Chains A and B, each alone.
Chain A
């Protein structure tokens, strides 16, 4: 599970993790559940259907497949699997029964989504599991606790019946050592605050918290202060113009960068104090493209 505040790049990190886990000929499934088509946008493909499709092959014979889970489709699939509804299920959808069911019982939607993840995770082909790993681009930190805590949400409504046992099965998997919830953050105040809050919430709910992944990180600065005279000397030594405008401009930029880095350092300390393993992914100067994802996957594979 990969969560994080909106805008921290959790979709990119989830994709990089799926790539990293597909090394050495393994097969992974990258799943999204919020209908954002973030995976398709990241890889520049057309919209993903509710169907497991090969997204990329990885050197060494591995592959990443992708799936966009849709709650309606998942409900129909579920009903079909357990109740053999067939065409009748489609009729239900036609006049809004599915929309109705998932609206009146919001927890139902989440059980369906996580239930699909469980199905893919535990599915076998022959004697082996179909996937070596399933990576979920999960809802953001603000919703992650409620999303994963499916039993609590459904228990309120369904005291008995298959939905209850289904949600208990999902909950057991999500709390097992097979699951890790990684939290993506930037070295900015609000994402770090939400990371701290989410880890507290996940821990209280007994979900296995994995790593704290700092995205778009820059290394610490060597020097914390630079004088204009120093800059002038440096510019002259490099054979660059050292006029007043250039020197004061660079000085202003360096000062702002120092303020920013000092804040980043204190946030980094705050994250370390959580006592969770911390991974830093570098800021990619050209943005996150396919080559960039491989760089991030390389870092994730090495930890």
Chain B
């Protein structure tokens, strides 16, 4: 499958934005206007929104954000919600009642849905089992058993760099198809790059549908006269190289794998394309999650560009772990100078420490604003919400609820 070759999404891509002459609007819009505020409650309450996808770099609180949003959708907006997590921290998983990875949504007990009538279900993705289910759905049991026993299938279903992404999307497709949920909140895998999550399904599907597989499977079918003697010649060389490097047993396993998968090509491709279209639909809202650190914000900006190119609906950016001083004055310089004076005076250790902590907080806030501006400068139309850093880590329902409140009312 290849992505659509349609033009870049109208208003989100910086190169397009620049085509609008600024002079026409300059009189009405202040040049340094901040990004619009992201109203998370509006998204969570909208019955037209059926899927929320949280994406961003690793280590920015993506899973926690997804869980907090799902909890809020259930408790506050009365929606029948399911959250699909990929690799949650142990204690967060426990707080949602996820003690085992069983690949099925489980209802989260002990939350406050009496008034709203909502429900929260949670599940952890089991990549291998999801892959197995896909195989079972597309082939007869005998052939499936053959596939499961093949060492290539075992390697691919548990370690291929894109399998997790692909299976997360597959699971999303399954949950969506069941139609049982008002809202599905998806956490995306902690990829080496945010792009993997968009690229891997296409890549895996292209691979499973690819000419290399077809060549291995039946060179005659793709070959014939028109199919370039170079390819056939190179392919012969390819299999000789593979045989030399990896050994003959491997080639036998490989062609066995390929032959077994052949019956499934159409199914794989169709499902990947279906999920891709769901992601482009109006019922989906993508939320970028980042922390005010250069890598995370760069990744978010990159992702915003990609979503635009793929014509996928970007709802906004959740900027986690933002530091905000409780009071602006005295400023950092004054605080540090005062701390120096008090140190010389002696007897004010606690105040010295408080002033130094205050100065550090102010400096950090300035640095974070500078980092965040690299995103808002490139994508000024994308709504943003900043979530203040919590002093301690979150791993219970109360903590998730507090984050939900912080995201909605900054």
Task: Give the B-binding residues of A (Cβ under 8 A).
Answer: 5-8, 34-36, 38, 41, 79, 83, 85, 88, 91-92, 95-97, 99-101, 103-107, 109, 139-140, 142, 146, 153, 156-164, 188-191, 193, 221-223, 225-227, 230-231, 233-235, 237-241, 245-246, 248-254, 256-257, 259-260, 263, 285-287
Contacts and interface: CB of A to CB of B under 8 A. Distances in A.
B140 to A, nearest CB: 24
B393 A190 contact: yes
Given A233-B351, A234-B352, A259 B245 contact: no
B355 A103 contact: no
Most chain A CB within 10 A, of B242, B250, B350, is at B350
A253 B325 contact: yes
Interface of B: 57-60, 87, 89-90, 151-152, 154-156, 159-161, 190, 192-193, 203, 207, 210-213, 230-231, 234, 237-238, 241-242, 244-247, 249-250, 253-254, 257, 291, 293-296, 298, 325-327, 329-330, 334, 338-339, 341-342, 345, 348-355, 357-358, 360-361, 363, 367, 391-393, 395
A249 B326 contact: yes
Per DSSP, chain B at the interface is helix
Contact of B87 (A105, A142, A162, A286): A142
Contacts of B250: 157-159, 161
A193 B89 contact: yes
A246 B294 CA distance: 31
Contact of A263 (B245, B350, B393): B393
A104 B238 contact: no
B355 A250 contact: yes
B152 to A, nearest CB: 6
Contacts of A230: 348, 350-351
A8 B386 CA distance: 21
8 contacts: A85-B241, A92-B241, A95-B234, A189-B89, A191-B59, A225-B350, A231-B350, A240-B334
Given A230-B351, A238-B351, A245-B327, A157 B161 contact: no
B89 A241 contact: no
Contacts of A142: 87, 190
Contact of A106 (B60, B160, B334, B342): B160
A246 to B, nearest CB: 6
A222 B159 contact: no
B342 A238 contact: yes
A223 B357 contact: no
B398 to A, nearest CB: 16
A241 B291 CA distance: 34
A249 B335 CA distance: 13
A222 B349 contact: yes
B258 to A, nearest CB: 9
Most chain A CB within 10 A, of B237, B245, B298, B357, is at B245
Given A91-B230, A161-B246, A7 B291 contact: yes
B338 A238 contact: yes
Contacts of A191: 59
Nearest to B87: A142
